[in-house]
A and B are shown apart, each in its own frame.
Chain A
Amino acid sequence: MSNEEFKPVLLARQGKPNSHKLATYKADGGYSALAIALAMKNTEVIDVVKASGLRGRGGAGFPTGLKWTFLPKELNGPIYLCINGDESEPGTFNNRVLIEQDPHQVLEGIVISSFATRTTTAYFYLRYEYGRCYRVLKDAIDEMYDNNLLGKNILGSGYDLDVHLHRGACAYICGEETGLIESLEGKRAWPRIKPPFPAIEGAFRRPTVVNNVETMACIPHIINRGASWFMTMGIPKDPKNPRDAGSYGPKLYCISGHVNKPGLVELPMGISARDLIDKHGGGVWKGRKAKAVVPGGISMGFMSEKELDTPLDFAGPGSVGCLGLGTAAVIVIDDHTSMIDVLYNACRFFAHESCGQCTPCREGTAWSTKILERIRDGRGKLSDIDVLLEISSSIGTIPGTTICGLADGAAWPMKTAIHKFRSEFEEYIQSGRKSESRTLAGSH
């Protein structure tokens, strides 16, 4: 399917009057997928989701149906589904729009996924900052209980499910699935060593699935329209790479930064960053050119201007040295902006959000920030560049020094900024000038 033929799926109901109400959702065919799913065996629902090629939209891109099959076959107690609504990756806001505008689409996906995974209690972990989302979801869940879409014997199927909203407290690490689980349990959100993976031992030491909000929104459409329909969109598997799982389905792209029209766009997976910016983001603002572009939230690193024809599918950003597609949150940085200021901002974010559990991450994120602060103050040394590179190659799960991927997310902006813009760093340090950006000293 070409981008021109594509009609929005997940955003189809945006802007309709009362799009958040059950009545309008039902009038548009809502909850028909739930009725279909409840008439199937739970394993058949998993098979459809597996066959669709749906990969998790939260950042890691793990195949959703496959994740569900890791749960134990024999049921000897509760299984939990946790919805990860802690969306906090800089540049990312699609969960907010999905929930505020069309909460029932997400909730229908949650009920179907809970049924598929034999969950009878689901926890919707929502970041505190999304107060409006919280109130919209609360009302939507009440409507569902009143209409036999939650609670006992849903639609006469014999299946029972409760969904509870759980509000976070402004910590990025709660988006890491085991950090989320610890936070849900009432503890500090320190990620857990894996294995055991949550599917074996998760929330309350029970088998648990953690799924992203956008992933949930895809589920009703896959049940209604079939796995092969989902696969008509996106980029197929690379036949030469047996490990490639393909990039199927529609995807929400968040566009922010130096563009004329920041916003949320839904397209078949695989549009190039250049087309996304020019055709859907209104082009770079003030008639300027892009210097660098973040392909999927700052933890993915930076693409340079000459790499903008890279497709934004699961495989594309990795082919130009980025960590991956991440959350498909595209941040455009114009050619008037200093990469030193940009990298400082990224490092400061990770230093602020490191949970402090693993020393390489706690110290590495803090020191990289301090080094960049010094460079911005006109007191940098050329050797600082290699120190930053050394930090970036020694923190994270990829070198194997930390429990979770936060430090990998901190490493990639450093690596890619320096590898792709090294001469700018050298010139800046040699000039000894101070940053013009009006940042408060010491406010991190």
Chain B
Amino acid sequence: MSELSSNAKKVIEDHLGRYPSKQAVTLPALHVVQEENGCVSRKAIKEIADILELSPAQVNDTLSFYGFFRTEEDPLGKKRVWICRSLPCMLRGGEELLAELCERWGIQPGQTTADGELTLELAECLGACDGAPCMLINDELSLCVTADDVDKQLRGRA
């Protein structure tokens, strides 16, 4: 059975006409697979490589360069929560926010809660320094957040 969903295959096909090389579809392909599966498995890498006429090693090389993509040994939780720790956020409590969430959720940055709901990540500048400390849930920014806000929004309790 194919690891890539029919939607993922269609997204990849749709991108092929946009670039003069098939390799350029690597990032769009990795994105759609990770969005659907929470990781990019070895089998998915192989299938992407087949469609893009690349060696799986080339796809893996790109995948592993960006800390963004997860392998099947280390999949994402349902929601991925990034807390910014770069200078503008650090100056307004970003480090403390990250440390507090680690304590409350009992995990370290990069890990997922036992129920598989939340993956906590540390982020370098998220580009929302006007609302420091800031947070990204999947790809939506939240500005001026506190640990209680985050808990309320994500776990329904403060």
Interface residues of A (CB under 8 A from B): 78, 87-93, 95-96, 121, 127-132, 134, 162, 164, 166-172, 183-189, 204, 206, 254-258, 262-264, 294, 298, 329, 331, 333, 337, 341-342, 345-346, 349, 352-353, 355, 437-440, 443
- Contact call A256/B127, Cβ cutoff below 8 A: no
- Contact call A254/B129, Cβ cutoff below 8 A: yes
Complex CA distance for A96 and B31, rounded to whole angstroms: 21
Complex CA distance for A236 and B57, rounded to whole angstroms: 53
Residues A88 and B98 in contact in the complex (CB < 8 Å), given A128-B68, A187-B62:
no
Contacting chain A: which of B1-9, B71-79, B137-145, B146-154?
Answer: B137-145
> Among A78, A162, A337, which residue has its beta carbon within 8 angstroms of that of B20?
A78
Chain A nearest CB, measured from B81 CB (Å): 13
Residues A90 and B125 in contact in the complex (CB < 8 Å), given A185-B24, A262-B132:
yes
- Which residues of the other chain, B, contact A256 by a CB distance below 8 angstroms? 88, 91, 129-130, 132
Complex CA distance for A132 and B141, rounded to whole angstroms: 8
- Which residues of the other chain, B, contact A92 by a CB distance below 8 angstroms? 125, 127, 129
Chain A nearest CB, measured from B98 CB (Å): 7
> Per-position contact with A for B42-79: 1 when CB-CB < 8 Å, else 0?
00000000001000001001100111110000000000
> Among A87, A170, A185, which residue has its beta carbon within 8 angstroms of that of B66?
A170
- Which residues of the other chain, B, contact A130 by a CB distance below 8 angstroms? 127, 139, 141
Beyond A96-B127, A206-B20, A262-B88, list 14 extra A-B contacts (CB 8 Å): A90-B87, A90-B125, A129-B82, A129-B123, A130-B139, A169-B68, A186-B21, A186-B23, A187-B23, A294-B87, A352-B124, A437-B95, A438-B99, A443-B109
Query: With contacts defined as CB atoms under 8 Å apart, how many contacts are there between chain A and chain B in the complex?
Result: 168
Residues A186 and B24 in contact in the complex (CB < 8 Å), given A129-B141, A254-B129:
yes
- Contact call A164/B99, Cβ cutoff below 8 A: no
Cβ < 8 Å to A, chain B residues 19-46? 19-21, 23-28, 30-31
Residues A169 and B109 in contact in the complex (CB < 8 Å), given A89-B125, A329-B129:
no
> Among B25, B30, B99, which residue has its beta carbon within 8 angstroms of that of A169?
B30
> Among A132, A167, A346, A439, which residue has its beta carbon within 8 angstroms of that of B28?
A167
Cβ < 8 Å to A, chain B residues 81-96? 82, 85-88, 90-92, 95-96
Considering only CB atoms and an 8 Å cut-off, how many residues of chain B contact the other chain? 52
Chain A nearest CB, measured from B60 CB (Å): 11
- Which residues of the other chain, A, contact B61 by a CB distance below 8 angstroms? 187-188
> Among A121, A189, A331, which residue has its beta carbon within 8 angstroms of that of B91?
A331
- Which residues of the other chain, A, contact B88 by a CB distance below 8 angstroms? 90-91, 256-257, 262, 331
> Among B87, B122, B123, which residue has its beta carbon within 8 angstroms of that of A91?
B87
- Which residues of the other chain, B, contact A443 by a CB distance below 8 angstroms? 98, 108-109, 122
Complex CA distance for A380 and B84, rounded to whole angstroms: 27
The reply on B18 being an interface residue by CB < 8 A is: yes
The reply on B128 being an interface residue by CB < 8 A is: yes
> Among A172, A346, A355, which residue has its beta carbon within 8 angstroms of that of B87?
A346
Q: Which residue of B lies closest to A134 (CB)?
A: B139
- Which residues of the other chain, A, contact B91 by a CB distance below 8 angstroms? 256-258, 331, 333, 337
Q: Which residue of B lies closest to A86 (CB)?
A: B127
- Contact call B62/A88, Cβ cutoff below 8 A: no
Complex CA distance for A186 and B63, rounded to whole angstroms: 9
The reply on B11 being an interface residue by CB < 8 A is: no
Residues A440 and B87 in contact in the complex (CB < 8 Å), given A90-B124, A167-B27, A262-B130:
no
**12 interchain pairs (CB within 8 A)?**
A92-B127, A96-B128, A127-B127, A132-B139, A167-B31, A172-B125, A183-B27, A204-B21, A256-B129, A256-B130, A262-B88, A349-B125
- Contact call B130/A254, Cβ cutoff below 8 A: yes
Complex CA distance for A265 and B130, rounded to whole angstroms: 11
Complex CA distance for A256 and B19, rounded to whole angstroms: 38
Complex CA distance for A219 and B25, rounded to whole angstroms: 30
Most A-side CB within 10 Å, residue of B31, B128, B131, B138: B128
> Among A185, A258, A263, which residue has its beta carbon within 8 angstroms of that of B21?
A185
Q: Which residue of A lies closest to B82 (CB)?
A: A129
Chain A nearest CB, measured from B13 CB (Å): 15
> Among B25, B62, B99, which residue has its beta carbon within 8 angstroms of that of A188?
B62
- Contact call B87/A298, Cβ cutoff below 8 A: yes
- Which residues of the other chain, A, contact B130 by a CB distance below 8 angstroms? 93, 254-256, 262-264
Chain A nearest CB, measured from B86 CB (Å): 4
> Among B87, B98, B108, which residue has its beta carbon within 8 angstroms of that of A345?
B87
7 cross-chain pairs, A with B, having the tightest CB-CB distances, nearest first: A131-B139, A186-B26, A188-B65, A256-B129, A169-B66, A256-B88, A186-B23
- Contact call A95/B127, Cβ cutoff below 8 A: yes
Q: Which residue of B lies closest to A130 (CB)?
A: B127
Q: Which residue of A lies closest to B96 (CB)?
A: A438
- Which residues of the other chain, A, contact B108 by a CB distance below 8 angstroms? 440, 443
Residues A93 and B31 in contact in the complex (CB < 8 Å), given A184-B24, A257-B87:
no
Complex CA distance for A346 and B28, rounded to whole angstroms: 31
